[in-house]
Amino acid sequence: MTTILAIETSCDETAAAVVEDGMTVRSSIVGSQEAWHRRGGG
């Protein structure tokens, strides 16, 4: 069994996922600053 932790970032979002055997997503989460930007008007 192979387990991979994948992490991706951009200027206002960060995502992470744990995938087993290249097929099964065990966990996936995205953190975003969208709400913060919306409060400031853009």
Percent of the chain with pLDDT over 70: 98
Answer whether residue 42 shows pLDDT above 80: no
Query: Looking at residue 7, what is its pLDDT?
Result: 98
Predicted TM-score (pTM) of the model is 0.72
Backbone φ and ψ for 33, nearest 5 degrees, come out as: -100, 15
Of residues 39 and 22, more confidence is placed in 22
What digits encode the pLDDT tens for the residues 19-35? 999 999 999 999 998 88
Q: Average pLDDT, stretch 6-27?
A: 96
- Tokens linked to 22: 């290249």
Secondary-structure percent of the chain, ordered helix, strand, coil, rounded to 5: 15, 55, 30
